[in-house]
Chains A and B, each alone.
Chain A
C-alpha cells in the first residue's frame, strides 16, 4: 500500500523541486557561448567604456531566455498532465487537440502576409499563433461536443483530423511562400526560444501561474475524472464543468507558451509521464511537480541548444526530443514494472 499524500509531504516535494529548479537556473545561466563575469554582469548597465557587455549578455539576453524556458516548460508540462488525465489517453500532449497546427497556421499566415506591425511589443507571428491556437481548440471542442455526451473519443478524433487538415494547409502555404519566409517559419515550428522583454515575461508568468494554480485547485476532481466519467459522477462531481474548465485553462496556458516560443514538442508528453512513473498518478502532486520538472527540463534543453553548435544555435525543439526521448525510455523500463497502474 502506497503512503497517503499528506500536505506536509507535498510541500516538502515541491520545495525540494523548487530548489533544484533554482540550482539549474543558476548553472545554466553560467553556460553559454560567451564567458560572462558575474561580478561585471551585476555591475549595472554602464561600464568603463560606456558599455557593459557582460551585463548586456547576462541580464538582457541570457536571463530572460532562461525565464522564458522556465515559463514555457511549466505551461506545457501542466497542460500535458491535464490532457492526459481528461482524455484518459497516454499519447495525449498539449498539442493533441490541434493547438500546434492552429498556432502554426496562424504563424505562417502572419509570415506569408508579411505584416510589419507590432502589438504590445509582440510580433504578428505571436499574435496570430495565439489566436490560431485558441481558435482551433475551440473548433475541436465544439466538434467534440456535437459527437455526443461522452465525447472523449469524438474529441480526440476531431483533434487528430483538424491537426492533419491544418498541417496540410501549412505545407501548402510553405511551398508557395518565398524561400526566405519559409525558413523563418520552419525555425518557428521547431521551437524558437529567444530572449523576451521583461514586461512580456512578467505578464506571461502571471497568466501561467494563475492557470497552474487554478488547475491545482481542481486536481482532486481531475483525479476522479481520470478513473472514468461514471466513477466521477457517482462521487458527485459535475464532470462536464470540470472538464470544460480544465480544458479551457490548459488550452490557454499552452496558447500563451506557443505564442512566446513556437512549437516545442515533447515536453508536454514526457514530463508528466516521467513524474507519473516516479511519484504516481495523483494530480495534486502531479501538477506542481510536472510544472517544475517541465521548467527544469526545458531550461537544460535550451542551454544545450544554445551551445552545442556554437557559435550558431539550434532550435530547442530539436534538443527536447533528442535528449528527452532516450532519457524517458530508460525511465520507462526502470519504473514501469514497479507501478501496477501502467499495465491495467
Chain B
C-alpha cells in the first residue's frame, strides 16, 4: 500500500508549499490600500445609491454605476458595471474607483468583500427601512466629504414629509393594497419600507401582518382585505395609460371591492417609491395623491 502513502506525502508537501507561499490565513495576505484615500472616483452599485450621490451634489465624481441607474438622466450616461444582482467586478476595477458604494444584502456585500481583498475601499449601506435611507445619506455624505449637503438633503426630505403628513392628517386612513406583482398576485406586506411610505401618505396597508415581506395574496384575501384604493407601480419606462387600462380590466373580476366599485385603481411610476432613495418625498406624494386626490385638487 505504499502508493497510498505517496499520495498522503505529496498532499502534505503540496499544503506545506501553499503555507510557504501564501501563509496560513487567506485573510492575512489581504493587500489593503493599494488605492489610498480620496473619493474622486466613485462607483455606485445600485440605482438608489446613484440617486443619493447626485442628490448630495457629487454626481460629477461618479465614474460608473449599476446597469439600472437611470436617474437622474445624466447618471444613465456613466459606465456600467453590471446589474444589481450580478455585478461585474472586472468592470468595477476597470473604472479605477477610490470608493465603491454597495448595498448590504448578500450579493453586494460579497462584492464589497472581494473588492476589499484586492485592496479597494468600499462603503456598504443597508437600505431596508425609511430610517435606513437617512442613515445611508449621512454615511455617504461623511465618506465623500459632502456632510453638509447630506445634512441639508435629509432635513429637506424630513421637512417636506412633515408638511405632507400635516396635510393628510392622522384620521380616516385609506385602506390601500399595494400590488408589487400581478401574476401571481403579491402585495407589499407590513414589514416593508413601502408600508412606511403608505402610512406617511395617510394610508393603511390593507394587508395585515404576514410572515412574508411581500406576501402572495389569494383571491379570498383580496376580497377579505377590502381595499379602498389599489396601487400598482410600474417601472419608469413603461406606458402608464396602457397599464392603467390593463389594470382596470384585471381588477374588474373583483367587482364588489370598494376600490373597484369606486374606480380607485391607480398605476403609478414606481421608481420613486420602490427605490427608496432621495426621491422619497416625491414617491410619498404620488401615493398621497392616489389616496386623497381632493387634497391636491388645486
**B1-23: contact bitstring with A at CB < 8 Å (1 yes, 0 no)?**
00110010011001101100111
Task: Please tell me which stretch of A48-56, A133-141, A222-230, A233-241 contacts chain B, meaning at least 4 of its Cβ atoms lie within 8 angstroms of it.
Answer: A48-56
Question: Across the interface, do B214 and A313 meet the contact criterion of CB distance under 8 Å?
Answer: no
Select the residue from A120, A206, A213 with max chain B CB neighbours within 10 A.
A206
Question: Across the interface, do A203 and B15 meet the contact criterion of CB distance under 8 Å?
Answer: yes
The complex places the Cα of A197 from the Cα of B27 at a distance, in Å, of: 9
A227 to chain B minimum Cβ distance, whole angstroms, is 24
Closest to B18 in A: A202
The answer, yes or no, to whether B162 is at the interface (CB within 8 Å) is no
Scan residues 22-64 of chain A and give those whose CB is less than 8 A from a CB of chain B.
32-34, 45-46, 50-51, 53, 56-57, 60-62
Question: Across the interface, do A181 and B11 meet the contact criterion of CB distance under 8 Å?
Answer: no
> In the complex, which residues of chain B have a beta carbon less than 8 angstroms from the beta carbon of A314?
86
Contact of B94 among A57, A118, A203 (CB under 8 A): A57
Instruction: Write the residues of chain A forming the contact surface with B, with a CB cutoff of 8 angstroms.
Output: 32-34, 45-46, 50-51, 53, 56-57, 60-62, 111, 118, 120-121, 123, 175-176, 178-181, 183-185, 187, 194-195, 197-200, 202-203, 205-207, 209-210, 213-214, 217, 306, 309-315
Interchain Cβ contacts within 8 Å, total number: 133
Contact of B211 among A45, A176, A198 (CB under 8 A): A176
The complex places the Cα of A200 from the Cα of B117 at a distance, in Å, of: 13
Instruction: Write the residues of chain B forming the contact surface with A, with a CB cutoff of 8 angstroms.
Output: 3-4, 7, 10-11, 14-15, 17-18, 21-23, 25-27, 29, 31, 34-36, 67, 80-83, 85-91, 93-94, 96, 105-107, 110, 113-114, 117-119, 211-214
The complex places the Cα of A203 from the Cα of B67 at a distance, in Å, of: 36
Question: Across the interface, do A217 and B85 meet the contact criterion of CB distance under 8 Å?
Answer: no
Closest to A185 in B: B106
> In the complex, which residues of chain A have a beta carbon less than 8 angstroms from the beta carbon of B26?
120-121, 197, 199-200
Closest to A58 in B: B90
Question: Across the interface, do A311 and B82 meet the contact criterion of CB distance under 8 Å?
Answer: yes
Contact of A121 among B27, B82, B119 (CB under 8 A): B27
The complex places the Cα of A203 from the Cα of B14 at a distance, in Å, of: 8
Question: Across the interface, do A183 and B35 meet the contact criterion of CB distance under 8 Å?
Answer: no
Contact of B212 among A34, A56, A175, A210 (CB under 8 A): A175
Question: Across the interface, do B18 and A213 meet the contact criterion of CB distance under 8 Å?
Answer: no
Question: Across the interface, do B212 and A206 meet the contact criterion of CB distance under 8 Å?
Answer: no
Residues A311 and B35 in contact in the complex (CB < 8 Å), given A61-B118, A118-B27, A202-B18: no
Question: Across the interface, do A206 and B88 meet the contact criterion of CB distance under 8 Å?
Answer: no
The complex places the Cα of A311 from the Cα of B43 at a distance, in Å, of: 14
**Further pairs besides A33-B88, A120-B25, A199-B21: 17, Cβ < 8 Å:** A34-B90, A50-B34, A50-B35, A50-B36, A57-B90, A60-B118, A178-B213, A181-B105, A184-B106, A197-B29, A199-B26, A200-B26, A203-B15, A207-B11, A210-B11, A311-B67, A313-B86
B17 to chain A minimum Cβ distance, whole angstroms, is 8
Question: Across the interface, do A56 and B93 meet the contact criterion of CB distance under 8 Å?
Answer: yes
Contact of A312 among B18, B82, B96 (CB under 8 A): B82
Question: Across the interface, do B106 and A312 meet the contact criterion of CB distance under 8 Å?
Answer: no
Closest to B68 in A: A312
Closest to B104 in A: A180
A180 to chain B minimum Cβ distance, whole angstroms, is 4
The complex places the Cα of A194 from the Cα of B25 at a distance, in Å, of: 19
Closest to A202 in B: B18
A221 to chain B minimum Cβ distance, whole angstroms, is 13
The complex places the Cα of A312 from the Cα of B106 at a distance, in Å, of: 17
Closest to A199 in B: B22
Closest to A205 in B: B14
A168 to chain B minimum Cβ distance, whole angstroms, is 17
> In the complex, which residues of chain B have a beta carbon less than 8 angstroms from the beta carbon of A310?
88
Question: Across the interface, do A312 and B11 meet the contact criterion of CB distance under 8 Å?
Answer: no
Closest to B21 in A: A202
Question: Across the interface, do B94 and A53 meet the contact criterion of CB distance under 8 Å?
Answer: yes
Question: Across the interface, do B11 and A179 meet the contact criterion of CB distance under 8 Å?
Answer: no
Closest to A213 in B: B7
Select the residue from B25, B85, B90 with max chain A CB neighbours within 10 A.
B90
Question: Across the interface, do A311 and B80 meet the contact criterion of CB distance under 8 Å?
Answer: yes
B131 to chain A minimum Cβ distance, whole angstroms, is 17
- Smallest CB-CB A-B distances: 3 pairs: A184-B106, A121-B26, A199-B22
> In the complex, which residues of chain A have a beta carbon less than 8 angstroms from the beta carbon of B212?
175-176
A126 to chain B minimum Cβ distance, whole angstroms, is 11
CB<8 Å pairs between A and B, sample of 19: A32-B90, A120-B26, A123-B110, A123-B113, A175-B212, A178-B213, A179-B213, A179-B214, A180-B105, A197-B26, A198-B22, A207-B11, A217-B7, A310-B88, A311-B88, A312-B86, A313-B82, A313-B86, A313-B87
Question: Across the interface, do B34 and A202 meet the contact criterion of CB distance under 8 Å?
Answer: no
Question: Across the interface, do A33 and B18 meet the contact criterion of CB distance under 8 Å?
Answer: no
The complex places the Cα of A224 from the Cα of B110 at a distance, in Å, of: 46
Select the residue from B3, B34, B81 with max chain A CB neighbours within 10 A.
B34
Contact of A199 among B18, B96, B106 (CB under 8 A): B18
> In the complex, which residues of chain B have a beta carbon less than 8 angstroms from the beta carbon of A194?
89, 110, 114
> In the complex, which residues of chain A have a beta carbon less than 8 angstroms from the beta carbon of B118?
56, 60-61
A67 to chain B minimum Cβ distance, whole angstroms, is 13
> In the complex, which residues of chain B have a beta carbon less than 8 angstroms from the beta carbon of A214?
4, 7
A201 to chain B minimum Cβ distance, whole angstroms, is 9
> In the complex, which residues of chain B have a beta carbon less than 8 angstroms from the beta carbon of A57?
90, 93-94
Select the residue from B17, B35, B80, B118 with max chain A CB neighbours within 10 A.
B118
Closest to A196 in B: B26
Question: Across the interface, do A217 and B35 meet the contact criterion of CB distance under 8 Å?
Answer: no
The complex places the Cα of A16 from the Cα of B87 at a distance, in Å, of: 36
